[in-house]
Amino acid sequence: MKFDQAFMIGQCEVIPIEYAIKFDGLSKQSIQPKFIEVLCYLAKHFPRVIPREELIENVWAGNSYVGEKALTNAIWHLRQHLKNVNGRDGEEETIETIRKVGYRLLVAPVYINEKTEISVTELLNSPNDKKTSLLKLTSYALVVIFSIGLVLHLFKAPKSFDQAVITQITKSPGSELFPAPSPDGTKVVFKWLNNKSSSNLYIKDRNNPQLAPKQLTFGEAYVGHSVWSNDGQYLYFSRKDESNDYCQVIQLKVSTHQEKPIVDCPTIGGYYYLDISPDDKTLAFHGNDEPADDSGIYFIDLTSETSKALRFSCSNNCNYKERDFAFSPDGKSIAVTRRVNRFNENIFLVDLATKKAEQLTKGEEDIVGLTWHPNGNKLVYGAQRADVRRGYIVDIVSKITTALQLEGFSYPTFAKNSKELFYQQRYEKYYLASLPLDNDIASSPFPVIESEFNHQYPHYSEQSNHIAYVSNESGFYELWISDSQGLNRQQLTFLKQTIRYPRWSHSGEKIAFLAPVDADKADKIYIYDLTSKKLSIVPSLHQTHNRPTWSWNDKAIISAVYEKEYVDLHYINIDTGESTRISFDGSRYGLMTSPTTLVYTGERKGLWQVEISFNDQQVLQPTEKTRPLQKISGKVFKTAYTWDYSEQGVYFRQTYTKHHQLAFYNFADQQTYPLLRLPRNTLGSSTTLSKISSTNELLFTRAYTPQADIKSLTHPLLSQ
């Protein structure tokens, strides 16, 4: 929801397009966008009482998890900002609370263009102060009109988002994901996730909206994205069963539910994107076959029973990974997303005949779905930054990107014949939580830091008695600290880019974390020194790193690095950047538990330990024959990152089909003790665990069960 038209509330001018307000004679004040949206909605519907549910639906897209607290917060802040709209030092309320109902604006809004319509006679007969005010507004309006005219002369004016129409397609509890509309738009297939059953594909008949969606697939196997054939007869999707070690792309005849395997797909990885060429002859899917370095896009000929999949993506030394893709309506090109690292993914247009690529977007971090407009002149895509998803349109010729002003927007897909756009609206909400470990009775996690924003990756330092974490309060994930109770919070960085994985040094004086550099082409390890308040970058020669931890003496960083030939842990000097490889088995994450002992996890299941030799404080590179010791069996311990080490044992996450479990492995008796069972979607997928010994609590990232619904969008920008 967005309103662009400026208006007056008493002596206060509200400027929605700038998210600002201005009192006469004073400077503009920037206001949070959601606060302005609430005020605009109240003004637009003046003098009606607006129920809380209606405001949440229109400002927060119905996301009650965020909206309930955020709305209360917005109203409070708006009252503070608007205290003097009548020039009486806040004596009168501007927004009235109607108990158990909602809110009402008490001062009539006057829109700027409406003031310019007052006649000259009325103006001359009005009081002097009113004349002055109206003359000011008239002058302002004339300047605005002239400016708009000039812009319209040079550029074609964009359509107002207020003309957009959003239609709810699904609204069941749980998450409806990855919409796949039939070519005529009368049916929509989606993946449904809930806490009581496994994920499967369902089909919604839009001609019979009173009917519940019909289940198309059954069983415990993982199903991914789906795509219709252009003739509307078949549906294609991937099905992965890790327990039986197989993955297949399936052709489903929709009328009879008859299934036919088409080609094998990789059991390792989580990318199961699909698309079909406009002539229904070629299916594109995500595969991974040797001798390719990584997974990529493969094509298979659907007209031949004996055809073999051919790799389309670059195979070796690519410096990027291709993930999502979409054939152009004319079948001459394919739009692909290329991920350079976890901070950089953008869309490229690739000619199918020559494989010549042209970059369409810049500065994106994570592409969450893309689709061609049926006219072939633009792409619609979703992008996620700091865990907030938004929708965009990019023009193929001009490369100009226009925001759709829709939060939660992801995985858009056009119905190719009806030209309707369907998308998934999904919100992710994370907060810091702690689990008491010494209670005699079972306990639920307690919130430590929870708000309308996201907070992740907590790490506690006994020496500083503070928690380091990241928060997107500023619109970017920046580094913050708080005391052990989550109070006295302080933002430490202002990089205006996403950072991840903060880790305290053993001394409690420094924090290491990952962030992008060099226009997002690489990531580096940053170090924030709390004593000097300075930020530095470890001069590592590697381009891609993983979660940093500290050497025992705090003079080096332990981090996995990603090279063309291998991925393994390195010991990186924080002053010189000198790097020594200290593992040879695909290790991803490690902690120093003594001056010479490293425990780590990686491609091999289980928790492993290896001794590192030093000579005059310099690490000596171990040989490939150095034999690590398995501390915990891979049958018990399967997590790569969600664990924390203590002298007595290890706290870690166990993953089951329908839930996660936090557990403790005791070194003394070599037994595993369950601590807490949580629904699978409510434990942050990449969270760290961090123990606060003084209070015997375990810190981690907790997530609200994500809600995702399928919607359709009609928008003037999409009709061109």
d(CA 711, CA 170): 7
d(CA 564, CA 541): 14
pLDDT at 151 over 60: no
pLDDT at 80 over 90: no
Residue for token pair 């389309």: 312
Instruction: Find the angle CA(359)-CA(362)-CA(349) to the nearest 5 degrees.
Output: 20
Mean pLDDT of 190-219: 86
Question: For residue 549, what pLDDT is reported?
Answer: 98
For 30-51, the pLDDT digits (tens) are 888 888 999 999 998 888 889 8
| Residue 221 structure tokens | 């196997």
Question: For residue 54, what pLDDT is reported?
Answer: 86
pLDDT at 194 over 60: yes
d(CA 262, CA 620): 51
For 585-625, the pLDDT digits (tens) are 999 999 999 999 999 999 889 999 999 888 766 777 666 66
CATH code matching the domain that covers 7-115, chosen among 3.40.1190.20, 1.10.10.10, 1.10.3720.10, 3.30.70.3290: 1.10.10.10
For 440-486, the pLDDT digits (tens) are 666 788 999 999 899 999 999 999 999 999 999 988 999 999 999 99
For 253-269, the pLDDT digits (tens) are 999 999 999 999 988 87
Mean pLDDT of 624-639: 87
Instruction: Place 139 in a pLDDT band, splitting at 50, 70 and 90.
Output: very low
Mean pLDDT of 93-119: 74
Q: Return the closest-CA partner of residue 358 out of 316, 395, 311, 384.
A: 395
pLDDT at 276 over 50: yes
Query: Which string of b and e fits 629-654 if b means at least 16 CB within 10 Å?
Result: eebbeeebbbbbbbbbbeeebbbbbb
From the CB of residue 90, how many other CB atoms can be counted at a distance below 10 Å? 13
Q: Are 369 and 271 in contact (CB under 8 A)?
A: no
Instruction: Place 148 in a pLDDT band, splitting at 50, 70 and 90.
Output: very low
pLDDT at 184 over 80: yes
Question: For residue 125, what pLDDT is reported?
Answer: 40
Q: Are 230 and 280 in contact (CB under 8 A)?
A: yes
* Strand bridging mode 258-264 / 246-253: antiparallel
Q: Are 657 and 198 in contact (CB under 8 A)?
A: yes
Asked if domains 166-428+707-718 and 445-638 share a fold, the reply is yes
Q: Domain ranges in the chain?
A: 7-115, 166-428+707-718, 445-638
For 379-396, the pLDDT digits (tens) are 999 999 888 999 999 999
Q: 90: which residues sit within 8 A by CB, 6+ positions away?
A: 83, 84
Instruction: Place 77 in a pLDDT band, splitting at 50, 70 and 90.
Output: confident
Mean pLDDT of 316-331: 93
Is it true that the peptide bond before 329 is cis, omega within 30 degrees of 0? no
In the chain, what is the greatest distance between 2 CA atoms, to the nearest angstrom? 96
Instruction: Place 199 in a pLDDT band, splitting at 50, 70 and 90.
Output: confident
Mean pLDDT over all residues of the chain?
Answer: 86
Instruction: Place 564 in a pLDDT band, splitting at 50, 70 and 90.
Output: confident
What number of helices (H) and strands (E) belong to the chain? 6, 58
d(CA 51, CA 106): 15
Element (H, E) at 18: none
Q: Domain 445-638's class?
A: mainly beta
CATH superfamily of 166-428+707-718: TolB, C-terminal domain (2.120.10.30)
Instruction: Place 56 in a pLDDT band, splitting at 50, 70 and 90.
Output: confident
**Structure-model confidence comparison of residues 505 and 131, the more confident one:** 505
Question: For residue 425, what pLDDT is reported?
Answer: 92
Question: For residue 197, what pLDDT is reported?
Answer: 53
